[in-house]
Amino acid sequence: MDNNIIGQKSVLIPMTQEDLKMLHAWACDPLVCQNYHKCLTDEESMLKQLLCKPDDNIELYTINTKDSISIGKLSIEIANDNTANLDMLIGEKIYTGKGYGKDALKAAVKHCFEDLNLDAVKMVIKQDNMRAEYCCWSCGLREDKYYVSEKENNNTSRMVIYKKDYTGY
């Protein structure tokens, strides 16, 4: 069975150990880290752990272009309340602002609602990351007014889309 999620410009491919090398390279790049709400070094070790010991509630993907260039990562964490928490990063700077993140997010939202039959999709972003906010807005996500950020991520906001508001892509 093919576990790839296919968008119009991007393909989400299940992550492997080999993909952690590119994540390590992005963690060393301050221009990539400045717009991401998590510490990429911590994220890398968490992903390494999940790849060694998979969790049924977490799906890890590498964002690729149609010509198989790995440009980012996306994770889907399914919560107990039948919602998904998405986390996405375009790490290859030359691919930012070209619609790949938007396409990958649309494909992931579609997967969550149509394949996984979830009730809502949520995504935490850095408050001053205008690209991420625009990407979420263009994919139908809106600001979650009830979100209270944690101490370590106090400069974040959360975007959400509910199944009733999803029109399909």
* pLDDT at residue 62, as a whole number: 97
Pairing between strand 120-126 and 156-162? Answer: antiparallel
What integer pLDDT is reported at residue 152 of this predicted model?
A: 62
Please report how the helices 40-52 and 20-27 are oriented relative to each other, as an axis angle in degrees rounded to 10: 170
How would you classify the pairing of strands 10-14 and 156-162?
Answer: unpaired
Give all strands of the β-sheet with 58-65 in edge-to-edge order.
5-6, 10-14, 58-65, 70-78, 83-90, 120-126, 156-162, 142-143
CATH label of the domain that carries residue 144: 3.40.630.30
Quick one: pLDDT at residue 1?
40
pLDDT at 147: 86
Query: Helix (H, G, I), strand (E, B), or coil: what is residue 70?
Result: strand
For position 64, what pLDDT does the model report?
Answer: 97
Provide the residue-wise pLDDT of the chain in tens; the chain has 169 residues.
468 999 999 999 999 999 988 988 888 888 888 888 888 888 888 888 888 888 899 999 999 999 999 999 999 999 999 999 999 999 999 999 999 999 999 999 999 999 999 999 999 999 889 999 999 999 999 999 888 877 666 789 999 999 999 987 6
Which residue reads 């070790």 in tokens?
45
Nearest CA-CA partner of 141 in 128, 116, 124, 117: 124
What angle, 0 to 180 degrees and rounded to 10, lies between the N-to-C axes of helices 130-138 and 100-110? 50
**Selection from 132, 108, 161 nearest residue 37 by Cα:** 132
- pLDDT for the residue numbered 31: 86
Q: Which domain holds residue 106?
A: 5-165
* Confidence (pLDDT) at 155: 84
The number of distinct structural domains making up the chain is 1
Give the long-range contacts of residues 137-145, CB within 8 A, separation 24 or more: 138/102, 139/102, 139/105, 139/106, 139/109, 140/109, 140/165, 140/166, 140/167, 141/109
